Amino acid sequence: MSGVQVIAVAADEAGLRLDRWFRQHYPELGHGRLEKLLRTGQVRVDGARAKAGLRLEAGQQVRVPPLPPAAAAAPPRRRPVSDSDAAALRAAVLHQDDAVLAIDKPAGLAVQGGTGTGRHLDAILDALRLGARERPRLVHRLDKDTSGVLLLGRTRAAAAALTQAFRDRQTRKIYWAIVAGVPQPRRGRLAAPLRKGGGRGRERVHVDAEAGQAAVTDFAVVEAVGRQAAWLELRPLTGRTHQLRAHCAELGTPILGDGKYGGADAYLSGMPLARQLHLHARAITIAHPDGGALTVEAPLPRHFLQTMSALGIDRSQYEDPFADLDEDAAGTTAGRRRRGRAQKREKTS
């Protein structure tokens, strides 16, 4: 391509990251080349310098500098999805409508590719077209070793709306975790800013009150196993990388199996428990692109259930540890009564 172009962002492209916008319009342009163009200010949005992760808005003007011919770097070919991967992915569908798909992502499957990651969800999403013309689009992420609800937009417009809902925090995300030890207090809000570090290929975050990004998590004990372990419900109010893992470690109760953040303390000695991460995206409620709200819940994975059984945790006795707060937010008398009972239990425990 010769000469500078200025291209307006289309309405159905609102919410796309700048790098993904380029990937769709100029698949021949490699990520490294794009990063160089961004660093040198040759790519601009509305006349200003921009970063690859910038979320675009409809009508914004993207300056595209002269690019090398497409033959210089052909777009990568997607490998065909194997029959076994396709069947497993379709069996994991929790919800399907014209705009949204929700799947139960298994632990161990990365959402996107990266250094040393050959197999990932983004590479096999063609298996989830399910009769649609468009390939479904990722709108958020879960860690490779975290299981549970993952949402996808079935059209570009739906993906943009879901992405906007996540950015505007029009969601309620519920995670379940089993941790080593019991946090004190048993319910609270942890506001501990997080900063990325660890170097390329060794993604890790650290609590950093001065340079970190705001990260807030509500936590509550659903059931404690003496002082040895606890079943927690976690509600992240922000969506930082590894937020729940870092916050649980900050509480002094690392998630079972999370040696990255908890070291040896993330394992219970003398018990034959799975050494997998015990963190599960249990449920999500989000504004639906077509109006109203969508709630999706994912069943617990096998290793989580086995650990609960080994620890003597009866999940059939589950009671929402935040029920009083939810009801108080709606101004109900029942919520105030329930909060009083909860406070009394906390004082006696």
What are the pLDDT digits (tens) for 217-253?
999 999 999 999 999 999 999 999 999 999 999 999 9
- Asked if residue 60 belongs to a domain, the reply is yes
Burial of 340 (0-12, 13-18, 19+ CB in 10 A): exposed
Q: Which residues contact 252 (CB under 8 A, 6 or more apart)?
A: 181, 183
- If one compares 130 and 203, the residue with the highest pLDDT of the two is 130
**pLDDT tops 70 at residue 340:** no
Which of 67-71, 78-82, 179-183, 314-318 is modeled with the greatest confidence?
A: 179-183
The model's pTM is 0.77
Domain boundary among 145, 164, 183: 164
Domain that holds residue 42: 5-72
| Positions marked active-site | 143
Determine the Cα–Cα distance for residues 255 and 267; give it in Å rounded to an integer: 9
Q: Mean pLDDT across the chain, nearest whole number?
A: 87
Give the pair of three-digit tokens for residue 332: 């109900």
| Residue 202 pLDDT level (bands cut at 50, 70, 90) | low
The mean pLDDT value for 79-106 works out to 92
Dig out the tokens for 238 from the structure. 């922000």
Q: Give the domain CATH number at 123.
A: 3.30.2350.10
| Mean local confidence (pLDDT), 146-175 | 92
- Cβ neighbors of 81 (< 8 A, separation 6 or more) are 89, 123, 124, 126, 127
3-state DSSP percent of the chain in helix, strand and coil, to 5: 30, 25, 45
Please tell me the predicted confidence (pLDDT) of residue 11: 65
Helix (H) or strand (E) holding 307: helix 302-311
Residue 302 lies in a domain: no
Tens of pLDDT, residues 244-267: 999 999 999 999 999 999 999 999
Q: Does residue 330 have a pLDDT over 80?
A: no
pLDDT at 15: 75
pLDDT tens digits, one per residue of 103-160: 999 999 998 766 566 678 988 898 999 998 888 999 999 999 999 999 999 998 898 8
| 21: Cβ contacts below 8 Å, ≥ 6 apart | 9, 13, 56, 62
Angle at 26 between CA 78 and CA 133, to 5 degrees: 55
pLDDT at 182: 98
Query: Does the structure show a pLDDT above 90 at 191?
Result: yes
Same domain? For 60 and 98 the reply is no
**Could you tell me which of 192, 298, 296, 187 has the C-alpha nearest to residue 242?**
192
Signed CA dihedral, 41, 47, 48, 52: sign only: negative
Residue 114 in domain: yes
30 found inside a domain = yes
pLDDT, tens digit, 9 for 90 and up, residues 4-56? 888 888 766 777 889 988 888 887 788 889 999 999 999 999 999 999 999 88
- Kindly state the percentage of the chain with pLDDT values over 90: 60
The C-alpha angle with vertex 235 and arms to 229 and 237, in degrees rounded to 5, equals 140
- In this structure, the answer to whether residues 63 and 100 fall within a common structural domain is no
On whether both 140 and 87 belong to a single domain, the answer is: yes
- Based on the fold, state whether residues 93 and 153 are members of the same structural domain: yes
Indicate if the pLDDT at residue 72 is higher than 80. no
Q: 55 and 13, same structural domain?
A: yes
Number of domains in the chain: 3
Q: Is residue 271 a contact partner of residue 140, using CB atoms and an 8 Å limit?
A: no
- Which of the four pLDDT bands, split at 50, 70 and 90, describes residue 79? low
Tokens of 242: 């590894």
In a domain? residue 197: no
DSSP 187: E
Q: Give the model's pLDDT for residue 186.
A: 97
> What's the rounded Cα separation, in Å, for the pair 203 and 184?
28
Assigned domain for 40 exists: yes
User: Which one, of 58, 41, 59, 61, lies nearest residue 50 by Cα?
Assistant: 41
DSSP 287: E
Residue 282 lies in a domain: no
Task: Give the CB-side neighbour count of residue 175, counting CA atoms within 13 A.
Answer: 28
Residue type, 237: L
Instruction: Please identify, among 132, 164, 196, the residue that sits at the C-terminal boundary of a domain.
Output: 164
Q: In which element (H, E) is residue 279 found?
A: strand 279-287
Q: Domain for residue 170, yes or no? A: no
75 pLDDT band (50/70/90 cuts)? Answer: very low
Short-list 26, 52, 24, 25, CA closest to 38: 52
Quote the Cα angle for 175-178-180, to 5°. 135
Q: Are residues 109 and 49 in the same domain?
A: no
Q: Are 171 and 322 in contact (CB under 8 A)?
A: no
DSSP state of 122: G
- Within this chain, do residues 90 and 157 fall inside the same structural domain, yes or no? yes
Do residues 73 and 29 make contact, with C-beta atoms less than 8 angstroms apart?
yes
Match 């996808």 to its residue by tokens: 152
Length of the chain: 349
Residue at a domain's end among 31, 52, 72? 72
The Cα–Cα gap between 75 and 59 comes to 27
